[in-house]
Amino acid sequence: MTVLCSIHDLEDSTSKGFASHVGPVFAVKYDGQIFVYKNECPHLGVNLEFQPDEFLDSEGQLIQCSTHGALFNIEDGHCLSGPCQGDYLTPVEHVIEDDQIVIPK
Ligand code: FES
Q: What is the pLDDT of residues 75-93, one digit of tens each?
A: 999 999 999 999 999 999 9
User: Domain of 93: which CATH number?
Assistant: 2.102.10.10
Q: Please give the residue range of the domain that contains residue 21.
A: 2-103
Give the distance (Å) from ligand 1 centre to CA of residue 81. Answer: 11
Confidence of residue 44 (pLDDT cuts 50, 70, 90): very high
Note the pLDDT of residue 105. 86
Residue type, 16: K
Q: What is the pLDDT of residue 56?
A: 98
Structural domain tally of the chain? 1
| Among candidate residues 3, 1, 5, 58, the one with its CA nearest the CA of residue 29 | 5
80 CB within 6 A, ligand 1: no
